[in-house]
Structure 1
Amino acid sequence: MNKTNIVSLFFENAEKNCQSCCFHSKEQGLWKTYTWKEIANSVEKLAQILLSFGVQQGDRIAIISTTRREWTIADLAILACGAVTVPVYPTYPLHRIQYILEDANVRCVFVETDVEKEKVQEAIKENKAKTIIIQITDTDNKDVFSFSNLLIEPLAERFNIPDYLSKIDSESIATIVYTSGTTGQPKGAVLTHKNIFTEVMATGQLFTFDKDEVGLLALPLSHVLGRLIQFHHLSQGYQLAFIEAFDKFAENCRDVQPHFIVGVPRILEKMYERIAARVDNMNPLGRIIFQWAHRVGVERSLLIEQKCCVNLSIKIKYFFADLFIFRKIRGILGGRLNLFISGGASLAEDIVRFFHAMGLLVLEGYGLTETFAAATVNRYDNFRFGTVGKPLSCVEIKLDADNEILINSPTVFQEYLNKPEETLNVKTNDGWLRTGDIGVLSEDGFLSITDRKKEIIVTSGGQNIAPQMIESAIMESRYINYCMVYGDQKKYLTVLVTLNPVSIVEYARKNSIEGLFENIVLNPKIKALIQDVINEKNKKFARHETIKKFIILDRDFLQTQDELTPTLKIRRKIICEKFKDRLDQLYKE
């Protein structure tokens, strides 16, 4: 069996771990565990079925589903056939799903529910006879195959899966991952088995977990970081639990009691906001105790980050801070959690430091779809808050003349599908990947991201401004959910703001502001509150980087309105187009 691809490595681990727990999955209201043998049997059976359907090496097969056990089984079965997985976010609108299915020439689609099935049927209606649909949830629809039924039906013919695995070489295409795209149409990044295998081996050198440890995956498997963790787990042999839904995060943590979590920054931001709100509602003594504990935690955190010895006095104080405060907070998340790997978007440094003070290490990394997730990462024993860490062992990084981050690595993708010109433009003459991100490298190799090159705002006065830096500062306020800075070719900066309903309603109650949320946001007291937040944040920036005016929206930015990517980053171009008239009003004297 070819052991240079991730599927062969999975089968090897499945044979070795056999009856040990592989997955935890909540199904029909109950958590179920699945052994490595059970998962391996399902993968092999599904691969047999796909081959019986006529799937051949190189065929493209899409998966349109949330994060769940069946996603991984389908992915591994597709790869075991020598076929190519095309992940698609179920939140995508019909026109984007149609574009991806056509661009990738998909011949088979796994869908989660009737909702995704209907989108696919509409997208392929001109080509229905050529596309196989397999539905993960139970269905009586005769037009599609049932995932669960396929796994229990007897096979009419058996194929030798090891033979198919042996035909996979390092340059064989494994997956085509479409960039979620904050601007324009998504591009299909073609990634090989070498790209994936190299990345998994490199991250495996840095992060190792025992087979009794449990990780909670709180990321879409359609995202490359979610997929990397899936393959990292399958190569290492620990246990992995799938989040039921993002609004069930705390409940799932209490049930599963994870040792580590991989998730988007928004999870930590929400946790931070809830803790801050609880502290505000404490009695004076409770607040004093929490603030003391937090100061002790920060002092200890700084010493650990600087690799200094934590003296006995701080150890004793931290013991009591942890006993009476921090342990109770971590208990909400199951009690065993000590690591959160954050990816998919940036996270405010203050929030990272806040959680480390409480005994939860948050490690950020940096990567792209085009590098199959991480290119740099902070380590357990070598981290620096406010940075995205140091390069992986297989990655070289340098900065171009304009400080754009360039990457050279065997993890760098092969090409953009059907887009030769764009592939050419994203690489330098000597083959380095142009990331489109602006960064700073410290003398000892830590990388910091300052902004997206294409999102740099150039004011009418010629000042170059990084909007993400300002947005991150404003979004540190618990009253603000999202914001978008605006001002390209304008005299000054303005910002669109969406509010956190929980914090705003609580503030309204305390300040005798009545009415529904959409009316509360229009109240002058709320506008004054947000003005105070912006005034305070403006103190951090140079004069040309300060916000002069703002608009408060009466709703949040939404994925369903195409305003957020699946990892909850703002789609700047779409938001600018939608709210351009209102924003331009801010520049009329």
Structure 2
Amino acid sequence: MFTEWAAGRHPDRPALRFRDARGEWVSVTYAELRDTVRRTARGLLALGVEAGDRVVILAETRPEWMYAHFACLAVGAVVVPVYPTAGDEEALWVLSDSAARTVICEGPEEAARVEGLRGKLPALAHVLVMVGPAGPTMPDGSAVPLDDLLARADAVRPDDDAELVYTSGTTGPPKGCRLTHGNMGAVQDATLHLVEGGPGDRTYLYLPLAHLLAQLIQFSTLLYGGELCYFGGRIEDVVGELAEARPTHLPSVPRLFEKVYSVVRSLAEAQEGGGERFDAAVADGVLAADGALPPERQEAYEAADAALFGPVRAALGGRLRWALTGGAPIDPAVLDFLRACGIQVFEGYGMTESAGVISLNHPGAVRYGTVGRPVAGCEVRIADDGEVLARGPMIFPGYHANALGTAEALDADGWLHTGDLGSLDADGYLTITGRKKDLIITSAGKNLTPSHVELAIERSRFVSHAVMVGDRRPYPVALITVDAEETAGRDPAEVRALVQEAVETANAQVSRPARIRDFAILPGDFTVEGGELTPTLKVRRTAVVERYAAEIEALYHR
């Protein structure tokens, strides 16, 4: 059992930190974590959970998620994570397709949702609750001998399924990715030595644990003896909580870092000449980070560090030195800004089918603008059509009950066809350029990769999402949503002018056929609840195009 191993090495060190029901920060040691996982796992045995049974976890990121996760792995059950934001249709599909017998819910509200679906779930036997006004409903396993649990854990083999993770596909129902204990272990073997961490370090975790990245961060933090600090439950409070949590490590989607950059830059631009001074300060900060600052710029850099970079570090807790991002490209200007603040941000790349990791930038091997080199044990090559292919011990064995999908993803030689387009440079660094299925072919036969211009438009702090449209059309147009905070109090004409500026700036960076000829500003932002975003906040392109078909037609007829 993983928690037995960890507690044997760091019994009295803090393993977890989180807010209790009163909002106070509390800590849990490695020995206490082990004991809680033991109790939870013995409860699952008392309930009759067998090796190979599917157990759904439906909850926000919180310590009880971890207890349930590690307990399931210990008894040989297969964890099926479900996003709390998943709609009833998606939840029903996952519970039904996985044939889950047990569902562990965060609270009574989530349990009531599952109970409402029970009539369509013949395999479902138990619905449990982690927390709630009446307390948890996890079973009592005190009568189960500890030796029975340890024996069950010892019987787990590397080829046994550990998780069944349903991809939040942008088209069609989610596919269940089978991930083995060996897959998960291969990722830790390949990456743990690339993360600079140890006892005394603290990782702040707000990413959803239904996503593999957050789970991998949990494992790596506890493997090197660090402390996991869980967010308080409200995304709106994350930036404010960082000052209290004082993390050394922060995994995040790019949006958080981009918002910090946007706020600081907008404050600078509010002063006359502030934008130019900001850019000069960042340039000096990058040189200082690289150890290449000219002596004559030292005084200016120290002034900028005191007035600009230092306060940013303090706002992020004062100790942050390592950040990891992935899932979407990050603006190079944001990376430069954070480097100037003394914070290293490492981009990586992976997918559910690769147990979360394929390549990673890391200390000593960073090339900004790329997603790093393939990790140890993972081979990467580029197919003739530009698709990224990967092979190694972290690659999944296939989709659950989906032979056709498995055959499309894995070829006879074991190569995973990622569906992403990319390139490898002479030093082996991987760059992702877009999604193969998103390729747009205009009526003139021009092949366009939407992400190039979309990301360029989204670099404007006034834009939240940009979606290029143009398949079988004479030229591309765009559907754009704006950032509500950045555009608050501005009249529609001013907002359109700001978006027009963002589009023109982006057009200057791409080839003529890829330039956006016209655009529509949509009335509201994309949301998971509205169906335009996946639970991992990726745009469901097909859903957006279908929903706004009238707006698209109008762009081609005015």
Q: Same fold by TM-score, threshold 0.5 exceeded? A: yes
Alignment partner of 1:453 is 2:436? yes
Alignment partner of 1:18 is 2:1? no
- Output the CA distance in 1 between the equivalents of 2:328 and 2:231: 19
- Output the CA distance in 2 between the equivalents of 1:154 and 1:49: 4
- Output the CA distance in 2 between the equivalents of 1:288 and 1:433: 46
Match of 2:194 in 1: 206
* Partner SS, residue 451 of structure 2: helix
Alignment partner of 1:527 is 2:510? no
- Quick one: percent identity of the two aligned structures? 32
Alignment partner of 1:573 is 2:542? yes
Match of 2:313 in 1: 330
- Output the CA distance in 2 between the equivalents of 1:331 and 1:444: 36
- Output the CA distance in 2 between the equivalents of 1:198 and 1:204: 10
State which drifts further: 111-120 or 165-174: 111-120
Match of 1:226 in 2: 214
Contact 1:179 1:186 in 2 (8 A): yes
Contact 1:218 1:261 in 2 (8 A): no
Match of 1:173 in 2: 161
Q: What amino acid is aligned across from residue 481 of structure 1 in structure 2?
A: S
Aligned length: 555
- Output the CA distance in 1 between the equivalents of 2:442 and 2:48: 57
- Unaligned segments of structure 2, at least 5 residues: none
- Output the CA distance in 1 between the equivalents of 2:142 and 2:249: 39
- Output the CA distance in 2 between the equivalents of 1:286 and 1:423: 54
Normalised by the length of structure 2, the TM-score is 0.96
- Spell out the pairing of 1:502-581 with structure 2 (5 A cutoff): 502-505=485-488, 508=490, 513=491, 523-581=492-550
- Output the CA distance in 1 between the equivalents of 2:307 and 2:239: 20
Match of 1:123 in 2: 117
- Output the CA distance in 1 between the equivalents of 2:301 and 2:237: 31
- Output the CA distance in 2 between the equivalents of 1:428 and 1:166: 33
Contact 1:345 1:567 in 2 (8 A): no
- Spell out the pairing of 1:262-301 with structure 2 (5 A cutoff): 262-281=251-270, 283-284=271-272, 289-301=277-289
1:408-451: CA deviations, max 9, x gaps? 11000011001001101112231100000000100001100000
Contact 1:51 1:159 in 2 (8 A): no
Contact 1:183 1:571 in 2 (8 A): yes
Q: What amino acid is aligned across from residue 578 of structure 1 in structure 2?
A: R
Match of 1:377 in 2: 360
Q: 1:395 aligns with which of 372, 375, 378?
A: 378
Instruction: Assess, with a 3 A threshold, how the Cα gap between structure 1 residues 130 and 185 changes in structure 2: closer, same or farther.
Output: closer
Q: What amino acid is aligned across from residue 132 of structure 1 in structure 2?
A: H
Q: 1:134 aligns with which of 117, 120, 128?
A: 128
Contact 1:56 1:81 in 2 (8 A): yes
- Output the CA distance in 1 between the equivalents of 2:41 and 2:164: 19
Q: What amino acid is aligned across from residue 220 of structure 1 in structure 2?
A: P
**1:312 shift after superposition:** 4.3
Contact 2:282 2:336 in 1 (8 A): no
Match of 1:157 in 2: 144
Q: What amino acid is aligned across from residue 496 of structure 2 in structure 1?
A: K
* Partner SS, residue 569 of structure 1: coil
- Output the CA distance in 1 between the equivalents of 2:20 and 2:516: 48
Normalised by the length of structure 1, the TM-score is 0.91
- Spell out the pairing of 1:58-73 with structure 2 (5 A cutoff): 58-73=52-67
1:207-255: CA deviations, max 9, x gaps? 1312101111131111011111111122221011112232111121011
* Partner SS, residue 308 of structure 2: helix
**1:154 shift after superposition:** 6.8
Match of 1:236 in 2: 224
1:248-307: CA deviations, max 9, x gaps? 1112101110011001111112212211221122x3376665444223123335xx2xxx
1:13-53: CA deviations, max 9, x gaps? 11221111001111221111111111110101110010011
- Output the CA distance in 1 between the equivalents of 2:189 and 2:198: 16
1:325-369: CA deviations, max 9, x gaps? 201111111111122101222222222222212222111100000
* Partner SS, residue 365 of structure 1: strand
* Partner SS, residue 357 of structure 2: strand
State which drifts further: 127-136 or 309-318: 309-318
Q: 1:37 aligns with which of 31, 34, 38?
A: 31
Match of 2:345 in 1: 362
Match of 2:87 in 1: 93
Q: What amino acid is aligned across from residue 261 of structure 1 in structure 2?
A: L
Alignment partner of 1:75 is 2:62? no
Instruction: Assess, with a 3 A threshold, how the Cα gap between structure 1 residues 108 and 449 changes in structure 2: closer, same or farther.
Output: same
- Output the CA distance in 2 between the equivalents of 1:532 and 1:15: 58
- Output the CA distance in 2 between the equivalents of 1:260 and 1:9: 22
Q: What amino acid is aligned across from residue 16 of structure 2 in structure 1?
A: F
- Output the CA distance in 2 between the equivalents of 1:150 and 1:195: 29
- Unaligned segments of structure 1, at least 5 residues: 1-7, 141-145, 514-522
State which drifts further: 337-346 or 444-453: 337-346
Contact 2:40 2:141 in 1 (8 A): no
- Output the CA distance in 2 between the equivalents of 1:373 and 1:154: 33
Instruction: Assess, with a 3 A threshold, how the Cα gap between structure 1 residues 56 and 352 changes in structure 2: closer, same or farther.
Output: same
- Output the CA distance in 1 between the equivalents of 2:276 and 2:555: 42
- Output the CA distance in 1 between the equivalents of 2:475 and 2:274: 43
